[in-house]
């Protein structure tokens, strides 16, 4: 295959280096069987661009230097000195290696290397191994831990912590299953989005609170709900009577069973709750709020699918294993039942649906959320307010078998 003709200019803009141009010229001479020093010198001119720096240099050379190729070549190399190729130092190579990162955003993607499709982590591992070889450290484990630390968490989780050699490390990264990588990347993406979302909402709420110097609406109502949740921790108590939707904030149906004997609405007493101390979440620092928001997203809220329900069962078991039989508090995030509403979305704490308050919940007791989940939702709301309201996906709880519209306080 004849190669492309190269015409040299010598102005620094040539596609090849001066010395590569010389090699090209010699190849051309050999191909043309032009082997004498005299004929090579005579042909050289025709490989220079007319009027270029190189052409003018050539025209200005004394005839004695243009007669034989070795003289001409030496003159050329004096005019265009061979470039000194700098060998990278060991330190530079190690630095390059330590800074060679694989970004989370690139993980799981397909790229072309040498015209072939490959996954980013596979290409990354190959390059890392090459750099380690260049630096002369591939046979050991020197610096692996630094480079490993630069891996996206998803990938780090998929391969061993320790490796004897760079080849072992590169192999482990290469063999990380792409399905697992993509799954991890997707989870990270969703979580990052959720965190960003709640953060922005929190900031909006803080701004609003700051501007109005008002506690978040429904706070009294919420405090009452919290109290009832605590009172109802003992399940042997009958549930409080349902009442007409309570418009009077600060009033609360009595949770005292004695007040409800007789069953009907007429026997319900209303107790005025003592004024609560100022809204607790106003006392939280921004850091505390952020930490709390983070805790609301620690556990994945699974979809209501067979897989989601299985994962939820595991979460519940994990919670019990970790915490045992304690009351839920702000530091013990509790798994959310699959398919229910997101926390802090003005959802009903009892059933996890929207459209009614906990006190109006018509979901039968046996179908309600676990008490600890109700408590966790209440804690989230108390500390963070309805930060997800408005943007939350609306969840309606449908109970076909429950038709009684009226209710009487004992119907639940």
Residues lying near Zn ion in the complex (CB under 5 A): 348, 350-351, 361
Q: What are 281-288's contacts with CB under 8 Å, separation 24+?
A: 281/216, 281/382, 281/383, 281/384, 281/385, 282/209, 282/215, 284/383, 286/206
Q: How many residues does the chain have?
A: 412
Q: Which is nearer to Zn ion, 131 or 397 (CB)?
A: 397
Q: How far is the CB of 329 from Zn ion (least distance, A)?
A: 23
Q: How far is the CB of 385 from Zn ion (least distance, A)?
A: 19
Q: How far is the CB of 397 from Zn ion (least distance, A)?
A: 6
Which two tokens mark 170?
Answer: 């590169």
Q: How many CB atoms lie within 10 A of CB 236?
A: 5
| Residue 245 falls in which region: left (phi positive, over 0), alpha (psi -120 to 50) or beta | beta
Q: Which is nearer to Zn ion, 163 or 350 (CB)?
A: 350
Q: How far is the CB of 353 from Zn ion (least distance, A)?
A: 5
The strand pairing partners of 188, in sequence order, are none
DSSP codes, 60-76 = HS-GGGGSSHHHHHHHH
Q: Are 155 and 173 in contact (CB under 8 A)?
A: yes
Q: Which is nearer to Zn ion, 289 or 368 (CB)?
A: 368
Q: Which is nearer to Zn ion, 147 or 341 (CB)?
A: 341
Q: How far is the CB of 393 from Zn ion (least distance, A)?
A: 16
Q: How far is the CB of 347 from Zn ion (least distance, A)?
A: 8
Q: Which is nearer to Zn ion, 148 or 368 (CB)?
A: 368
Give, to the nearest 10 degrees, the angle between helix 371-384 and helix 286-296.
150
Q: Which is nearer to Zn ion, 215 or 339 (CB)?
A: 339
Q: How far is the CB of 363 from Zn ion (least distance, A)?
A: 5
Q: Which is nearer to Zn ion, 351 or 379 (CB)?
A: 351
Give the closest residue to 302 by CA, choosing from 344, 347, 335, 345: 335
The strand pairing partners of 251, in sequence order, are 272
Rg of the Cα trace of the chain? 38
- Give the integer Cα–Cα distance in Å for 364 and 399: 9
Q: How far is the CB of 231 from Zn ion (least distance, A)?
A: 17
Q: How many CB atoms lie within 10 A of CB 7?
A: 14
Q: Which is nearer to Zn ion, 260 or 361 (CB)?
A: 361
Give the closest residue to 18 by CA, choosing from 52, 66, 63: 52
């Amino acid at each position: 295959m004849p190669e492309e003709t190269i015409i040299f200019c010598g102005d620094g803009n040539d596609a090849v280096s001066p010395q590569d141009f010389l090699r090209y010229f010699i190849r051309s001479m050999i191909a043309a069987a032009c082997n004498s020093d005299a004929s090579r010198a005579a042909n050289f001119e025709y490989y220079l661009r007319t009027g270029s720096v190189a052409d003018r240099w050539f025209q200005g050379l004394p005839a004695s230097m243009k007669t034989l190729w070795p003289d001409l070549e030496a003159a050329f190399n004096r005019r265009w000195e061979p470039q000194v190729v700098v060998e990278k130092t060991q330190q530079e190579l190690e630095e390059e290696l330590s800074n060679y990162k694989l970004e989370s955003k690139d993980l799981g993607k397909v790229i072309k290397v040498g015209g072939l499709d490959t996954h980013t982590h596979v290409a990354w591992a190959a390059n890392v191994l090459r750099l380690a070889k260049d630096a002369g450290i591939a046979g050991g484990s020197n610096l692996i831990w630094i480079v490993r630390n630069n891996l996206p968490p998803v990938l780090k989780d998929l391969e061993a912590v320790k490796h004897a050699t760079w080849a072992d490390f590169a192999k482990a990264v290469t063999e990380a299953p792409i399905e697992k990588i993509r799954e991890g990347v997707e989870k990270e993406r969703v979580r990052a989005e959720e965190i960003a979302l709640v953060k922005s909402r929190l900031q909006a709420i803080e701004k609003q609170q700051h501007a109005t110097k008002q506690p978040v609406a429904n706070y009294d109502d919420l405090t009452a709900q919290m109290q009832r949740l605590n009172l109802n921790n003992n399940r042997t108590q009958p549930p409080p009577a349902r009442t007409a939707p309570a418009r009077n904030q600060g009033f609360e149906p009595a949770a005292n069973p004695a007040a409800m004997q007789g069953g009907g609405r007429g026997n319900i007493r209303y107790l005025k709750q003592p004024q609560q101390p100022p809204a607790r979440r106003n006392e939280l620092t921004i850091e505390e709020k952020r930490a709390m928001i983070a805790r609301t997203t620690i556990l994945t809220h699974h979809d209501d699918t067979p897989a989601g329900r299985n994962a939820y069962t595991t979460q519940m078991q994990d919670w019990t294993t970790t915490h045992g039989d304690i009351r839920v508090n702000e530091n013990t995030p509790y798994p959310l039942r699959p398919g229910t509403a997101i926390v802090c979305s003005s959802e009903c704490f009892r059933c996890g649906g929207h459209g009614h308050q906990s006190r109006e919940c018509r979901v039968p007791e046996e179908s309600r959320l676990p008490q600890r989940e109700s408590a966790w939702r209440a804690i989230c709301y108390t500390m963070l307010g309805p930060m997800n309201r408005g943007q939350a996906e609306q969840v309606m709880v449908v109970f076909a078998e429950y038709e009684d519209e009226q209710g009487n306080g004992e119907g639940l």
